[in-house]
Structure 1
Amino acid sequence: MLIDDITRLRLHREDDQDTLDLIRELMDLNVTLVLIGVDIPGSGLMRGSYVDQRTGQWIFPDPERGKSHTAAAATQTSRRFDIVNLDPFDYSTPAGINAFLDHLAGIEDQLRLLRSFEGMLTTGEMPEYLYERTRGVVGLLRRLIEDGCTEAMISGKERLTPELLARTTIQLGDHSDLDPGAGEVPEIPHNVPPTTKPTRKRRGRNTVLDDRGGRTADG
């Protein structure tokens, strides 16, 4: 069972405490729970828990009797959690760059722009530009490409280019109910121009053997 936005629970609210107790009761069922959130250790949900040095798992102690009016929650055994961190893509190592390019290739295969081409997202300056715009955050990357595709269709370009994406603003929609302190509102880079590579200065031609004139053929 997947439960998203788990970090929106705030344990100073009684209703949220009851919700967390209900989630913990689900662990008594024959089901695997996957709780998804941003900065779970810093959210307060793991408050009072500790890491078992032998197993590397987080141990979530039993709620103290009287602090919750969910009777079953007060008698349940300690629960163990494995925290899996999904960090943004890394663009500083060959392995990180390859992983980012593989992800872009998967997105590219699903795009249906009329003038798209193989390597549209994975060649030239495009991968580096996409990383600079999103810092490797998957959600921002998805929004940028989606909004860029909309602009490409409206404008008739029907392909994604760094120049087109530079005119595309990443829109997160209404995030008034998100908590910036918990990392739910990512930092969005602004005013990132397309990467321009310096043009090479053309080498001068060797003129040592040029006929500079000044003499007639019979001279």
Structure 2
Amino acid sequence: MWDIVDSNLQDGDQAKGAVAVDAFPGLGKTTAVLVFAAEFHRREIAEHGAFTAQGHERWPVCRVGLTGNTGMKDLNRAMLEFFGHPGRQTSTAAQLGLQALDCVLSCEVRLLILDDLHFLKWRRTSGIEVSSHLKWIANEFPVTLLKVGVGLADKGLFSEGEAIGETALAQTGRRTTRLDMPPFTIAAEQGRQQWRRLLLALEQRIVLADAYPGMLADDLSDYLFARSTGHIGSLMTLVNRGCQRAQRAGAERLTRELLDQVRNDEAAEGARRELDCAFSAGKATSRPRGVRTTG
């Protein structure tokens, strides 16, 4: 994302390439994008100051969440809601678009995030209208569009086939770079090392009186992978609920016995049994080679 956004900053008045973060639920898409947005915001403020040359507040990032019935007017109004514009309730769709452009220019926005883009029905009339509107934004707004959603390719965001809206959607596919976020896997050594690094980093954020180094990465590595199936959203849910139970019960540490009392999300619980059997039979492991004898 840094490569794409920073290269777009050099393009001047040229149409800028967009980014689409497209992955299954529970893999941390929105979290990763918001972390990137916060770092980008802080960098721009540090380099250029909190106010523009005209005295307006500098807002390098604008984030908009979409709904299932978002149309062109709704999208423009959502952008104005972000800036608190007084005309967001009474203007026409065209006026809202121009007002949004004025806010973007005045506040020197450089990154426009559109979250939950999968809610749009791309092959319906409203979806085609919004797709065309996004191309207008890409042409007229000095911003990089960062789109976040689930199954965007399957829903037709990048489609150039023979379905309705072929011409309208083809340009979107050419201008958009798709980035995915796969779940953690343990089939290869690299994946096992990544999983261990995640658990080690997570250990640093746990505040329990009897927590100790290796509590997750050594003693619970296989167990946590089986309970989360490699999805960071399921992992964080399990660890967070486990910490709450550990505090209430006075255990002050995470153990297999304590986490067995914690229910996780339905998708993770449904896929748990097969992984449990593989780990128990020694047919799979989440530990890298150098630490397989620990725990």
Q: TM-score range by the shorter chain?
A: 0.5 to 0.7
2:230 is the counterpart of 1:136: yes
Aligned counterpart for 1:9 among listed residues 96, 120, 128? 120
Separation in 2, partners of 1:49, 1:107: 44
* Contact in 1 for aligned 2:114/2:146 (Cα 8 Å): yes
Match of 2:256 in 1: 162
> Deviation at 1:171?
4.3
Contact persistence 1:89–1:136 (CA under 8 A): yes
Aligned counterpart, 1:208: none
> Which residue is 2:144 aligned to?
32
RMSD: 3.2
Paired residues of 2:123 and 2:156 also in contact (CA < 8 A): no
Give 1:89 deviation, angstroms.
Answer: 0.4
Query: How far off is 1:31 after superposition?
Result: 1.7
Task: Work out the number of aligned pairs and report it.
Answer: 163
Q: Which has the higher contact order (CA 8 A, sep 6+)?
A: 2
| Greater radius of gyration (CA) | 1
**Larger proportion of helix:** 2
Work out whether residues 117 and 148 of structure 2, in 8 Å CA contact, stay in contact via their aligned partners in 1: yes
Q: Call closer, same or farther: CA 1:49–1:143 in 2, change over 3 Å.
A: farther
Q: SS at 1:43's partner residue?
A: coil
Unaligned runs of 5+ in 1: 51-59, 65-75, 173-186, 199-219
8 Å CA contact 1:62, 1:77 repeated in 2 = no
* Structure 2 residue ranges without an equivalent (≥5): 1-111, 283-295
How much has 1:104 moved relative to structure 2?
1.2
Using structure 1 for the length normalisation, give the TM-score: 0.63
Residues 123, 31 of structure 1: alpha-carbon distance in 2 compared, 3 angstrom cutoff: same
How far apart, in 2, do the equivalents of 1:156 and 1:16 lie?
Answer: 53
Question: Sequence identity of aligned pairs in percent?
Answer: 26
> Is residue 61–residue 79 contact of structure 1 (8 Å, CA) maintained in 2?
no
SS in 2 for 1:83: strand
CA-to-aligned-CA distance 1:109-152 (integer Å, 9 cap, x gap): 1111121111111012x111111111111111111111111111
- Where in structure 2 are the equivalents of 1:180-219 lying within 5 Å? 187-190=267-270
> Contact 2:128–2:168 (CA<8 Å) still a contact in 1?
no
Which residue matches 1:209? Answer: none
Change (3 A) 1:7 1:113: same
